[in-house]
Amino acid sequence: MFKIVDKQQLTPLIYSLWVEAPRIAQSAKPGQFLIVRPSDNGERVPLTICDYNPDNGTVRIVVQIAGVSSNKICNLNVGDCLTDVAGPLGKPSDFMEIPEEELKGKRYLFVAGGVGAAPVYPQAKYLHERGAKVDVIIGARNKDLIIMEDEMRKVCSNLYICTDDGSKGEKGVVTLLMERLGNKYDMCVAIGPMIMMKFATLMAKKLELPITVSLNTLMVDGTGMCGACRVSVAGKTMFACVDGPEFNGYDVDFDEALRRQTLYRKEEQQANAAAGLEFKR
């Protein structure tokens, strides 16, 4: 059992949980994810690691309520326990292989869409602590969906916020900010909705900027056995959970990935309806 030691509501549908998991906290790296099970008969839910503290043996997950299982997780409170937390899983971010002395002075641009700010945070934090210059764009539909603004300001040189309706930051989509900032970075990392990552990759190509994207939103089982996260990368079949979740954005077949996201839409809607849950997409 894995005890919840801290819980915060970030938006009406997004929660932050710190969970006791000493062995995971000791070995977690940016880019990796966990498999969480809220109860004995609960579904396996893949969640990216938002933060980790080896000193007190805790890891942080950020969960958006989108269905029955995520709703169960977010309804737990401090002192309650998750039945299972397995990890860290997946491959760490590519920059983990770069010697720390080489990271100093490198320029990174992170583009976070909605809850994608959660997996962006540990990456930006890691690079910032090693002397890299980190700029972050956070985009969302409106101001109420912007998360982790204060934490992000502490680990980046510049934070840019944009909203579709202009209720916070600049009005517009993240690609407009990318275009304005231009090609002054060594690498761009985009994490968020699949459609956002597709157009961020197209903008990066226009700017001749290398880009990494995270396909964590495709994962179901998280171990490579279910096949739900199959996607074509550089013409080869890959699994987001075991071969990723991060890939070269130029190599990803985003149209195929977008189709794959809809495979279980009917089952999700039926499960939500049975539980009395309703979500707008």
pTM of the model: 0.92
| Residue 102 token pair | 């080489």
Q: Name all domains of the chain by residue range, CATH numbers in brackets.
A: 2-89 (2.40.30.10), 94-207 (3.40.50.80), 215-274 (no CATH)
Which of the 8 DSSP states describes residue 107?
E
Please report the pLDDT score of residue 278 as a whole number.
Answer: 67
Please report the pLDDT score of residue 281 as a whole number.
Answer: 47
- The C-alpha atoms of residue 33 and residue 29 are separated, in whole angstroms, by 9
Task: Examine the pLDDT at 279 and tell me if it is beyond 60.
Answer: no
The pLDDT tens digits for 27-71 are: 999 999 999 999 888 788 999 999 999 999 999 999 999 888 899
Confidence band for 18, pLDDT divided at 50, 70 and 90: very high
Number of helices (H) and strands (E) in the chain: give both, helices first: 10, 16
**Phi, psi angle pair for 43, to nearest 5°:** -70, 150
- The C-alpha atoms of residue 76 and residue 217 are separated, in whole angstroms, by 23
Task: Examine the pLDDT at 206 and tell me if it is beyond 70.
Answer: yes
Q: What is the mean pLDDT of residues 211-224?
A: 88
Please report the pLDDT score of residue 267 as a whole number.
Answer: 60
Average pLDDT of the chain, as a whole number: 92
Please report the pLDDT score of residue 19 as a whole number.
Answer: 98
Q: What is the mean pLDDT of residues 123-143?
A: 96
Residue entry with tokens 């990723």 = 244
